[in-house]
Chains A and B, each alone.
Chain A
């Protein structure tokens, strides 16, 4: 099994992960890691993927090494324990 990949959690989502700033789960892709986190923290999973669906909440962006996964291979983006994965909420500005 691959080594756990760390994922930083924004403040708004920390109540669903026992207040932790970082959580981790094994997986070779972003999708696998998030799937592992859904199993560990079902309430967190529900926030990420509402109604038990496969569509991520559109206010949530996922970054691997500071790059939005939509510019990479989305949930198929490969990750290892050396990569930095951040969950960041979409905020407006300009």
Chain B
């Protein structure tokens, strides 16, 4: 049984049946899945969720699928880490890392949205799926499509990191490299969706796809012991995840699963692609598109289609947006690795770097629970770390050579 009611336009309120659809015909605003929350009360409970599988499908009642899941059986339910060593370093009392660099099977938060989109594509009877991607989505679509036995076309910018190209191609999709940046890829994909009858996960399956991002927020709340962090810092690219984590929090509040602590949301962007942070800093409701120039390629979207809604949620929740330079991003990647043993991609470095700046500026108080959301894995973008470490010279396979090496290091070594 599903609690899904219909699709509803975010602005005009026009209702549509559950069908492949990107936008409202009247005003072209996004359409969102609506649920029957009244029917959920007393049925969707902490206990019913806790009895579910250890995957994102434990929140199936709050996702827009009709039958059983067709993909993502092991996706989601990633670690929420109490980051005490990092907290101490930053001088804050209570810090958590939601770690989607450990998501399955493609090591980014995209496995959440794609699990729902592929299930929906199968329900609608599509045999081909596709996406416009900065890399992580391509990787995830290719992997999930392979599992579900669907054909896939993944469209990416031509200069993507090799880890994401190989990580996608190994699953056998048709990978299309497009000359230009992500915004060029996205523009072309809008035209492809018009012409071909495929399920483009972030176009005509977008209302379903985006709902999968809620599971990131549901898990934070449940893993925190059925409460919400006071402050949640998320990366902002196209603008999918931040409004959906906000929606997840609001749904749990509405269902009485967590107390309403008025959670604040914060957006993180790279300084080389910060249309939202710039608009927020200027107090503007609208953003101006930018040409991205940053190592954080997975969030290098200069014309975020959902940017307007991100700005709204940041304001509504009492949060803010910040941006970080490439050196700050790399320093944060290393800080997270050295303190908490998590190797994230530059997007994660951006989120942490911005969280640090928000803490230091006093926007985020040091004595309230903070959650920093890590959405991707550093092993897919190792070229970004070039020049970060000194060359390691090989030594002779002799104990004397090792002794000399150790003697030359500043750290005391206990032998014996």
Interface residues of A (CB under 8 A from B): 10-12, 15, 47, 50, 57-61, 63, 66, 68, 70-71, 86, 88-94
Contacts and interface: CB of A to CB of B under 8 A. Distances in A.
Given A91-B186, A93-B182, 5 more contacts: A92-B239, A92-B306, A93-B132, A93-B240, A94-B301
B278 to A, nearest CB: 14
Given A60-B28, A66-B184, A70-B288, A89 B22 contact: yes
Interface string B120-155: 000000000001111011000000000000000000
Contacts of A71: 289, 291
A68 B289 contact: yes
23 contacts: A10-B191, A12-B25, A12-B28, A58-B308, A60-B28, A61-B303, A66-B180, A66-B184, A66-B187, A70-B288, A88-B190, A89-B28, A91-B22, A91-B132, A91-B202, A92-B239, A92-B305, A93-B137, A93-B186, A93-B203, A93-B238, A93-B240, A94-B238
Contacts of B193: 91
B27 A59 contact: yes
Contact of A93 (B29, B133, B291, B308): B133
Interface of B: 22-23, 25, 27-30, 110, 131-134, 136-137, 180, 182-184, 186-187, 189-191, 193-194, 202-203, 206, 210, 237-240, 286, 288-289, 291, 298-299, 301, 303-306, 308
A60 B132 CA distance: 18
Contacts of A63: 187
B133 A92 contact: no
A94 B132 CA distance: 7
Nearest to B204: A91
Given A57-B27, A59-B28, A91 B206 contact: yes
Contacts of A10: 190-191, 194
